[in-house]
Amino acid sequence: MTTAQTGNAARLAARPVPGGGTPTRTWLDAGVHLTVLDLAECPELVLVGAHPDDETLGFGATAALLADAGVPVQTVSASDGGAAYPELTLLQRYRLERTRREELRRATAALGLHVPLSLGLPDGEIERHEERLADLLTEILATKPVGTWCAATWRGDGHPDHEAVGRAAATAVERTRAVLVEYPVWMWHWASPGDPAVPWGRAVTAPLTPAVMDRKHSAAQCFQSQYVAPFSGGDPVLPPAVLHRLLTVGEVMFR
């Protein structure tokens, strides 16, 4: 059974986010050289995240590069991220969802992408709705050209919602003539260079430029709800060290 099938939720759970995870310098010093994707092979892109900010932090610069080349990019967020802070009341959660939808709209605009589509599945429970998500993604991909890329959070990323989105995307791609591209987000936190749980043999990158990386940085700043806890003494979802790592290590995809 492959890593994509088994998942890495236990690995992520064993590395609490406030602890920082694998240092950015460890990744940079690894000196990994990856094959560079030929973006000319992508006629259209459907970019799928579990929560608003996944698409930006994991694939934003690549998406911006494709958009600059005239490739249509449709961003899809499976949930509105209302469960980011479990302590919130129902009303506070509703307000957070509204905030995160607006953050996503501003971030995709900063990346030069079209208005995003929010599917509204329950944050933290996407696995329970995986079949429904696969059906929705199938409907979207069925309207796209042959060979359209479906970029989704990696099936082995560690976060249950991310892994469920990856599995649903893989199912949708099998039903259509799309091409699956998976991108990690939390892998950078719990894994290490050469980690056997990561399919490095399938890892590729994109020819990112300083200009698109600058736009990714600008887009990432739109998600302030994730960087500051909504109550005194609380931990943010993405502490500074985690955000810095995601904006520094580049973008890796599994083909």
Q: What does the block give as tokens for 100?
A: 């995160």
In this structure, are residues 42 and 66 in contact, taking their beta carbons and an 8 Å threshold?
yes
pLDDT at 230 over 90: no
User: Tell me, what's the pLDDT at 31?
Assistant: 82
Contacts of 117 (CB under 8 A, 6+ apart): 74, 75, 76, 77, 140
What ranges do the domains of the chain cover? 3-254
Is the model's pLDDT at 139 over the cut of 90?
yes
> Hey, is 77 helix, strand or coil?
strand
Residue pointed to by tokens 């608003």 = 52
Q: In terms of pLDDT, which residue wins out, 19 or 180? A: 180
DSSP label at residue 7:
-
The SS3 of residue 47 is strand
- What residue ranges in 42-100 does DSSP mark as E strands? 45-49, 73-79
pLDDT at 1 over 50: no
The C-alpha atoms of residue 15 and residue 225 are separated, in whole angstroms, by 22
Calculate the CA dihedral of residues 91, 96, 102, 103 and round it to 10 degrees: 170
Could you report the per-residue pLDDT of 17-63, keeping only the tens digit for each? 988 899 999 999 998 889 999 999 999 999 999 999 999 999 999 99
DSSP 192: -
- The long-range contacts involving 87-91, CB below 8 angstroms and separated by at least 24 positions, are 87/231, 87/234, 88/230
Contact 173, 4 (CB under 8 A): no
Please report the pLDDT score of residue 6 as a whole number.
Answer: 65
Alpha-carbon distance 147 to 40, whole Å?
11
Tokens encoding 124: 């933290």
Q: What is the pLDDT of residue 18?
A: 87
CB 174 within 8 A of CB 202: no
* Residue partners of 144: CB distance under 8 A and separation at least 6: 44, 46, 176, 178
Residues 6+ apart with CB under 8 A from 16: none
**Chain-centre distance of CA 13, in angstroms?**
18
Residues in the chain: 255
- According to CATH, the topology of domain 3-254 is Rossmann fold (3.40.50)
Q: Measured between alpha carbons, how far is 95 from 214 in angstroms, rounded to an integer?
A: 29
